[in-house]
Amino acid sequence: MSAHPEKKIDSIHEGSIETNDTSYDPVKEAALTRKVDWHLLPILTLLYLLSFLDRSNVGNASVAGLSTKVALKSGEYNTGLALYFVGYVLFEIPANIVLKRTSPAIWLPTLTLTWAIVSVCQGLVINKAGFYAARFFLGAAEAGLFPGVVYVFSMYYTRDQRSVRVAFFFSGAALAGAFGGILAYLLSLIDGGGKPGWAWIFIVEGLITAVVSIVAYFLVPSWPQKAKFLNEEERAMLLARLGRDADAADLEPFTWRGVRQALTDPFAYLYALLFHGSAFTLYSISLFLPTIIKNLGFATWKVTFFVTMGVVYLSIQTKTKAPFIVGSSFVAIIGYIILITTHTAGAQYVGTFITVAGVYTANAMILSWPSENVSAQTKRAVVLALQISLGDLGAITGVLIYRPNLANHNYRTPHIIALGYSVLTGLTATALYILMARQNKLRKQLKAQNAGKEGGEDSWADGWKGKDEIERRRELGDRHPAWRYRL
């Protein structure tokens, strides 16, 4: 190893990606990965846990008296839930553009503080209009967190490492569902301060989020080129590893060209359709089965977490995602069939258990897939936001379909529609697999044809020297003939 790793850093600047690719001690590389994990995963997972808690506690507040207080008629509660996702959809892409142009150390805690304030305001509403406004602005404030964190992961981890980190991060949603009902029940018992119990659910949980957001300003790291928790040797090692893998070591400036590439890439819309199907099931489960989820409690979280992490591990070992997404969708389908065809509490319990495992496992891989397949950086930031933005139209559909007038037979009709969405998820994953496999085959053939010719390339890591080649990589991104999609 070089005795002067800081020299490697000097060459990594705006417009350069020279990382002096050097073989490092695998023991030190493993230690570096653990260090990055400890500085990213706990705080970012906590933020997502609070995000999911603050968006889904409305179900428990409604049971505790919210709907009666603000005079919500049948179906109007669902409209309020849908308005949350309207705000979410509208601000997803702008939020990630701001992230790309600033720093996660500032932007992510600021988003958290903003939605904490809105969450507290939910406890102060006195009428339907106030409830609607609060839900819309909560969605707008939370919009940038998930795609922002996935993008940050894509700047710190290699493509092989991202899936398990996104899965661990996503498990925060399952954990929120596990203890959210218990916490909300305890808060609903508070009777004082001139506020009913349902209001204290929003106020106390919002204040907890606000405190965490202040701490987050000191814990959320900046981009790896500027991260304070890395010393010079670790930074050089990390950037060299990222440079071998894809584009994360490049300090690519924000470009509107990257935005246009994202918005005109057919694969971007297939990723969005994939999440559209899974978002319907994800949010209908979290918002409309609160009693069952609460009764399952930590048993659900434990099983969901270990099933998700186990399946993600297998997908990493086989370097494929589509077969496991399809398989998880099939598990969810089985769960919905049980929910549709049975009527006893025990059978409904089992059906929900299976459905939750399938839905959460599929989502963990769906949400990490584009981060591994999209380059360059600006395009990736926009595609990640686009996937969740358009995908959450499925969430809007879900909260509007699970209405009180369709609650007969344990929501049998909405469950049938949810089953159809699970089928859509499996079919879309299959289509992506076929199309990307075809592209990989064509590029492999092109490589064979160009073998030995000047300019022929063996891998994505080759040729990251010289301004012309750097700009070519940025311009072509995942359309570059040396790029290979992860299936």
Tens-place pLDDT, residues 162-187: 888 888 887 766 666 666 667 777 77
For the segment 63-75, the average pLDDT, to the nearest whole number, is: 77
Residues 6+ apart with CB under 8 A from 470: 15, 16, 17, 250, 464
Q: Would residue 452 be called left, alpha or beta, if left means φ above 0 and alpha means ψ between -120 and 50 degrees? A: left
pLDDT at 469: 67
pLDDT at 54: 87
d(CA 91, CA 147): 11
Helix or strand or coil: residue 394?
helix
Q: Which structure tokens are listed for 414?
A: 């909405």
d(CA 69, CA 63): 11
For the segment 158-164, the average pLDDT, to the nearest whole number, is: 86
Give the residue from 451, 387, 409, 449 showing the smallest Cα distance to 88: 387
Please name the fold of domain 10-479.
Growth Hormone; Chain: A; (1.20.1250)
According to DSSP, residue 251 is labeled B
For the segment 458-483, the average pLDDT, to the nearest whole number, is: 68
pLDDT, averaged across the chain? 83
Residue, of 190 and 287, whose pLDDT is higher: 190
pLDDT in tens, 208-249: 999 999 999 999 999 998 899 999 999 988 888 887 777 666
Q: Which structure tokens are listed for 80?
A: 């309020």
For the segment 144-155, the average pLDDT, to the nearest whole number, is: 92
Q: Which structure tokens are listed for 444?
A: 């492999």
Q: Which structure tokens are listed for 8?
A: 């490697």
Give yes or no for residue 363 having a pLDDT over 80. yes
pLDDT in tens, 392-422: 899 888 888 887 777 777 788 889 999 999 9
CB 413 within 8 A of CB 406: yes
Handedness of CA 373, 377, 381, 383 (dihedral sign): negative
pLDDT in tens, 3-31: 333 333 333 333 333 444 445 678 888 89
pLDDT at 221: 96
CA distances for 83 relative to 138, 139, 203, angstroms = 9, 8, 20
Give yes or no for residue 330 having a pLDDT over 70. yes
- Rounded to two decimals, what is the model's pTM? 0.83
Angle, to 10 degrees, between the axis of helix 26-63 and the axis of helix 159-188?
30
Give the residue from 272, 282, 300 showing the smallest Cα distance to 432: 272
For the segment 133-157, the average pLDDT, to the nearest whole number, is: 93
Give yes or no for residue 364 having a pLDDT over 70. yes
